Amino acid sequence: MDNDLRREIIMDNYIDPMNKGLINDDGYLKTRTSSESCIDDLSFMMKIENNIIKDIRFDGEACAISTSATSIMIRSLIGKSVDDAKKILINYKNMIEEKDYDKELLSELVVYDSISKQPNRKNCALLPYKAINSMLGELNNRD
């Protein structure tokens, strides 16, 4: 991907992220995820109905990579079934960790396909993965 386009997508999602701001609603799964290695600290909430992700929201303080990755991931996951969301998440994680992954599944999330060149930012890119994966794990525990 062209570097200017990559930067533009990341900046658009950093400056005006999707669904930033939490709401009062007990029908959501909730989690707070902070990075072990830096200062990113975000709270997430996710609503699932009939096995479909209806909404994901977040709030907190994080860098350009964490914030934009969260925004793009939210856009990618809303409306997906839980199983499809899990596929996107695992492929995203594989991409960040330089393993084989299905590019077609990731849409705009591929803007982070070179993040491994900055090892200290891999955790930033993985923060929304960790949060949403943990909430889906909690869903399994409820079942």
Partner 1 sequence: MNRDDFPMLKNNIVFFDNGATTLKPKSVIDSVVDYMSNHTSNIHRGDYDAAIITNKLYDNVRNIVSSFVNCDSREVIYTSGATQSLNMVVFGYMKKHLKAGDEVLLNKAEHASNILPWIVLSKQIGIVIKYVPLDKNYELTLENIKKCVTSKTRVISLAQITNVIGDVRDVYSIGKYCHENNILFNVDGAQSVPHMRVDFKKCNMDFLSFSGHKMCGPTGVGILVGRYELLEEMDPLCYGGGMNSYFEENGDYELKSIPTRFEAGTTPIAEVIGLGEAIKYLMNIGMDNIHNHEMELKKYLLDKVKDIPNVIVYNTSSNSGIFAFNIDGVFAQDASIYLNSFNIYVRAGNHCAKELKDEIKIKNTVRVSMYFYNNFDDVDRLVSALKNSKDIFKVVL
Instruction: Confirm or reject binding of residue 114 to partner 1 (CB under 8 A).
Output: no
CB of 125 to partner 1, least distance (A): 12
CA 32/CA 49 separation, integer angstroms: 21
Give me the 5-44 binding string for partner 1, x by CB under 8 A, dash otherwise. -xx--xx--------------------------xxxx---
**CB nearer partner 1, residue 2 or residue 104:** 2
Instruction: Confirm or reject binding of residue 90 to partner 1 (CB under 8 A).
Output: no
**CB nearer partner 1, residue 81 or residue 114:** 114
Q: How far apart are the first and last CA of the chain?
A: 41
Alpha-helical regions (H) of the chain: 3-15, 64-77, 82-96, 103-106, 122-142
Instruction: Confirm or reject binding of residue 61 to partner 1 (CB under 8 A).
Output: yes
Spatial CA neighbour of 65 closest among 132, 10, 18, 16: 10
Instruction: Confirm or reject binding of residue 63 to partner 1 (CB under 8 A).
Output: yes
Cβ–Cβ < 8 Å for 46, 33: no
Cβ–Cβ < 8 Å for 41, 88: no
Which residue ranges make up the site for partner 1 (CB under 8 A)? 6-7, 10-11, 38-41, 61-65, 67, 118, 120-121, 124
